[in-house]
Amino acid sequence: MAAGTMTGAESVLRTLSAGGVQVCFANPGTSEMHLVAALDRVPEVRPVLALFEGVASGAADGYARMAGIPAATLLHLGPGLGNAFANLHNAYKARTPMVNVVGDHAVAHAPLNAPLASDIASVARPVSHWYASARDARSAATEAAAALAAARGRGGGIATLVVPADAGWETSAGPAEPLPVAPPAAVPQGAVEAAAQALRGGRRSALLIGGAATRGRALRAAARIAAATGARLLHDTFPARLERGAGVPRAQPLPYLTELATEALAGLEHLVICGTQAPVAFFAYPGRPSRLADPSTAVEVLAGPREDVAGALEALADALGAPADAPVEDAPRPAAPSGGPLDAVAIGAAVAALLPEGAIVVDESVTCSAPIVAATAGAARHDWLTLTGGAIGQGLPAATGAAVACPDRPVLSLEGDGSAMYTIQSLWTQAREGLDVTTVILANRSYAILDFELARVGAEATRGPAADALFGLGRPDLDFVGMAAGMGVPGVRVDDARSFSAALREALAEPGPRLIEAWL
Amino acid sequence: MAAGTMTGAESVLRTLSAGGVQVCFANPGTSEMHLVAALDRVPEVRPVLALFEGVASGAADGYARMAGIPAATLLHLGPGLGNAFANLHNAYKARTPMVNVVGDHAVAHAPLNAPLASDIASVARPVSHWYASARDARSAATEAAAALAAARGRGGGIATLVVPADAGWETSAGPAEPLPVAPPAAVPQGAVEAAAQALRGGRRSALLIGGAATRGRALRAAARIAAATGARLLHDTFPARLERGAGVPRAQPLPYLTELATEALAGLEHLVICGTQAPVAFFAYPGRPSRLADPSTAVEVLAGPREDVAGALEALADALGAPADAPVEDAPRPAAPSGGPLDAVAIGAAVAALLPEGAIVVDESVTCSAPIVAATAGAARHDWLTLTGGAIGQGLPAATGAAVACPDRPVLSLEGDGSAMYTIQSLWTQAREGLDVTTVILANRSYAILDFELARVGAEATRGPAADALFGLGRPDLDFVGMAAGMGVPGVRVDDARSFSAALREALAEPGPRLIEAWL
């Protein structure tokens, strides 16, 4: 097709492709048919079908966290975006680069209140750092270039571009040139000096790292600073991508529970924020603080989420005269349990022992997470992806996307049974694409965290059958092995530690998706 | 608990209960714990757990369509509302009465950008006829009374009330009195006279009924008018609740396809709109009209969706001197097929033959729907619920809610395989609650409608592997019987008409949920 007869849809897709987009996680409908046709003309962009839009958005999140470049999603009007919303929220909080392409009614059709007409902008805005609706086929490619630049620039973010059906089917002016991508903003020299001042002199201090600071150059610079000053190295409770394991500098997680987090931060004279924000409680509780740092602690922001935290940490390390490399003391690696009951500690030990070098772990194990995190500090080097926005149902999709991004790295998906059910359709995409994902369902047959939280908010006095009904996942028990088989993923249920170790060893050794239902 | 120490959460729930709410479809989180505790203090409201929020919102839609009173939903902040969005969209288009109770962070916590903080109002507005966020525990009950009045009044609608955690846990002033419920507005006498004028004199005319006009008094009055004037009786393509079958006046569906719909409406001198809006195409297509009525047809609005269409139709029938009762000529009822291949026609015949009197049919069978609708016009009297907003994934949840509303009526859920996967978690709620729902999965292993629509929008020229990947549900095939068993619902796969008839007969005879995977 010559440029003069290229559709708007094809011009959008070619623009995204020219700007580096290689994968489109899609669940299209009629209003996106010209975008589907464009995918057949632009084979550089790989379409990956999701059977539910929350799988598409969560996969795009997991993909970009690992690939470092945005994926596109292809979604069907307001309701498709609505289905994608929860995992877009998680990606928004992680500042994952992503371009959502959302179809809409033809411009003249939109005001007529057809069944699928809705206010897409209103749904999009809470989860979009950038938003536009293309006016017509001639401007759609230019909007796509702007969307991609917004997704990639200044530390990354979610760009949502609505493409009305006629902007897709009419004739375009051809693809648009990619726009320059703005690098993360440099922090002012004064911020580096203030942080250096705070950390000098042996006072009790800590660095809190998040965003881009939990891996690579930034993490190594943070470790140099900690080694030179004695400052503690803490990371956000829910990092987007944490590098850890053997040979990697170690940071301690800021605990989830308000009381443990305030304890971890108690008595600090200085807290230096690196790539994230000052720590706040996940939820408010009656009589407990929302801000976690002690009021007497001086909080210095070295770099926020959109700033060049790696550069700032390196400048700070140099300013403090830190050694060029900090020594890394590996945590002990437990042995895989060969007997005993199956619980989170046993699972953590098995994972620590068996995780292959270079694995990617996606952790949505909720109440089981803390013991597993503790046990795996000494595992072989790996990346650890967590639930950045608190909207459960992110784990299975993110694992799916991470596996698309890194076909040569095994993915381990640690998933609560309650959380798994939000986006269980992910398993089918894993089967279709032959992705090397091992899913471990931590099946305690309850929303265990809610029972725990009921007491913490002071509402346990009236606990009765309604809470039982709403917190329990029994009556009937879920059979994840059966559901996985129904979507083409082989699985096994285990209920003791020895069997779990054996099943995990086997699943990690085999290519393609596997599921282990760990019956706790 | 004395009123003086009643929490805001309990005051909200008691207010809703006093106003008639009996069921709450829930998927709560930490910010809703005091609302859960309140459910244990207010046993008049039955909690029904959904494993995904789209099941809760779709169930509340199906419930209220059949019960005529709103259910509540209980949802977890912006992401929970996001997951509920698509089925709220369907309910919004149907003007189903519903009260969404959405938890939020405590008021002082909300500005701190905790992981789950988001702009709930922005997500809610496109699917809410009424929206408020309670300021504190003292005003929460008053807001709940206003929400309920908005949901029930003027023909019904979606009310979304955000309850911040501290508005839930602090001390209230007790429940609020229910507010008066505004009846649907009367249409002006002039509208009745104009419609009467249009229909007199034997010119080619039709009534288009929708909203509240597709059943009960309104439908009978419409039939009287048709009998008296010779006007054709058409109903919206996707009615919220259509009464049909033996002994019920028959209306013809306005076809889904633009070309068939314009043909059905061609040559009319007058089209009278009753309880709905003037007909528009579901999607726009290049070179085809968006408005379906012929430009030469005079379109008269007798009553819009918020108006008293039953009263208006009765006044119109009387003004036209129509007989008090229109004769009903039943359509023929096919026999259940005892052999031959399994296709939509055979399924329609089996349903027509076997559907019990008083059954509720939820139809999300998409490309299979038209032949089934045609075959079942002569079935025993039943209600037919359809996808009002075009957001697929509504059928299984709506069937779940309809069964909660009507425990003495069997529910038949006709569901496409692609559509089923959006909210497959519904099956678990059906099993837990022991609901008498027979789910028929029409498994053609594809998004068949998209293949069809690709050509209709003129994009078929480039059809290739990307379209294959995005339209096909094979590689791997889904096993719905296995998935259903994994959620506690027994099922069977059939691939010929005789087996289907037998399986349907058996499933309808047994209480509790069943699934039939009809392999087309």
Instruction: List the single best residue of B31, B51, B306, B519 to mutate versus A (max A Cβ within 10 A).
Output: B51
User: Same domain for A313 and A273?
Assistant: yes
B175 part of a folded domain: no
Residue A46 vs residues A151, A333, A487: alpha-carbon distances, Å: 19, 39, 22
Task: Name the residue among B126, B166, B459 with its Cβ closest to that of A37.
Answer: B459
B129 interaction partners in chain A (CB closer than 8 Å)? none
Angle at B381 between CA B380 and CA B387, to 5 degrees: 110
A391 interaction partners in chain B (CB closer than 8 Å)? 79-80, 82, 116
Of the two residues A451 and A483, the one the predictor is more confident about is A483
CA distance B387 to chain A (A): 9
Query: What pLDDT shows up at residue B1?
Result: 46
Separation between Cα atoms, residue B256 and residue B99, nearest integer Å? 31
**φ, ψ for residue A338, nearest 5 deg:** -110, 10
Tokens coding A252: 């301690």
Inter-chain residue contact A466 with B389, CB threshold 8 Å: no
Q: Around Cβ B341, how many Cβ atoms within 10 Å?
A: 11
Query: What pLDDT shows up at residue A460?
Result: 84
Instruction: List the single best residue of A12, A27, A123 to mutate versus B (max B Cβ within 10 A).
Output: A123
CA distance A149 to chain B (A): 24
Q: Which of A138, A169, A200 is the last residue of a domain?
A: A169
User: Same domain for B193 and B165?
Assistant: no
Question: For B472, which DSSP code?
Answer: B
User: Same domain for A390 and A314?
Assistant: no
A326 part of a folded domain: no
Would you call A427 helix, strand, or coil by DSSP?
Answer: helix
Q: Does residue A3 register a pLDDT over 70?
A: no
Task: Name the residue among B123, B238, B425 with its Cβ closest to that of A421.
Answer: B425
For the domain that residue A266 is a member of, what is the CATH number? 3.40.50.1220
Separation between Cα atoms, residue A298 and residue A271, nearest integer Å? 6
A478 interaction partners in chain B (CB closer than 8 Å)? 428, 486-488
User: Same domain for A140 and A11?
Assistant: yes
Tokens coding B57: 């919102």
Crossing angle between the packed helical segments A426-433 and A395-405, to the nearest 10 degrees: 20
Query: What pLDDT shows up at residue B201?
Result: 78
User: Same domain for A397 and A296?
Assistant: no
For the domain that residue A466 is a member of, what is the CATH number? 3.40.50.970
B93 interaction partners in chain A (CB closer than 8 Å)? 115
Task: Name the residue among A33, A421, A461 with its Cβ closest to that of B51.
Answer: A421
Query: What pLDDT shows up at residue B5?
Result: 87
User: Same domain for A313 and A357?
Assistant: no
User: Same domain for A13 and A137?
Assistant: yes
Task: Name the residue among B40, B169, B291 with its Cβ closest to that of A462.
Answer: B40
B333 part of a folded domain: no
User: Same domain for B441 and B472?
Assistant: yes
Q: Which single residue is written with the structure tokens 């099993």?
A: B431
B115 part of a folded domain: yes
User: Same domain for A22 and A141?
Assistant: yes
A339 part of a folded domain: no
Query: What pLDDT shows up at residue B287?
Result: 92
Q: Does residue A155 register a pLDDT over 90?
A: no
Q: Which of B122, B141, B169 is the last residue of a domain?
A: B169
Query: What pLDDT shows up at residue B4?
Result: 61
A174-221 confidence digits (pLDDT tens) = 999 999 999 999 999 999 999 999 999 778 999 999 999 999 999 999
Question: For A443, which DSSP code?
Answer: E
Mean pLDDT, each 10-residue run in order, chain B (520 residues):
78 98 97 97 98 98 98 98 98 98 97 98 98 98 98 94 98 97 95 97 91 98 97 98 98 96 97 98 95 97 96 98 93 95 98 98 95 97 98 98 98 98 98 98 94 89 90 96 98 98 98 97
Task: Name the residue among A28, A112, A283 with its Cβ closest to that of B280.
Answer: A112
B464 interaction partners in chain A (CB closer than 8 Å)? 40
User: Same domain for B114 and B37?
Assistant: yes
Would the CA dihedral through B78, B83, B89, B94 be positive or negative? negative
Separation between Cα atoms, residue A213 and residue A307, nearest integer Å? 10
Instruction: List the single best residue of B36, B107, B236, B258 to mutate versus A (max A Cβ within 10 A).
Output: B36
Q: Which of A269, A302, A319 is the last residue of a domain?
A: A319
User: Same domain for A150 and A77?
Assistant: yes
The C-alpha torsion from B427 through B432 and B437 to B441, rounded to 10°, is: 20
User: Same domain for A230 and A369?
Assistant: no
Tokens coding B316: 């119109």
A87-100 confidence digits (pLDDT tens) = 999 999 999 999 99
The answer to whether the CB of B83 falls within 8 A of the CB of B422 is no
Instruction: List the single best residue of A483, A489, A492, A515 to mutate versus B (max B Cβ within 10 A).
Output: A483
At A187, the amino acid letter reads: V
Query: What pLDDT shows up at residue B155?
Result: 82
Tokens coding A466: 């309604």
Q: Does residue A444 register a pLDDT over 80?
A: yes
B334 part of a folded domain: no
Q: Around Cβ B47, how many Cβ atoms within 10 Å?
A: 23
A385-403 confidence digits (pLDDT tens) = 999 999 999 999 999 999 9
Inter-chain residue contact B466 with A280, CB threshold 8 Å: no
Q: How many domains does chain A have?
A: 3
Segments forming the whole domain that contains residue B260: 189-319
- Nearest Cα neighbor of A309 from A25, A29, A47, A95 is A95
A177 part of a folded domain: no
pLDDT band of A1, cuts 50, 70, 90: very low
Separation between Cα atoms, residue A304 and residue A281, nearest integer Å? 18
A349 part of a folded domain: yes
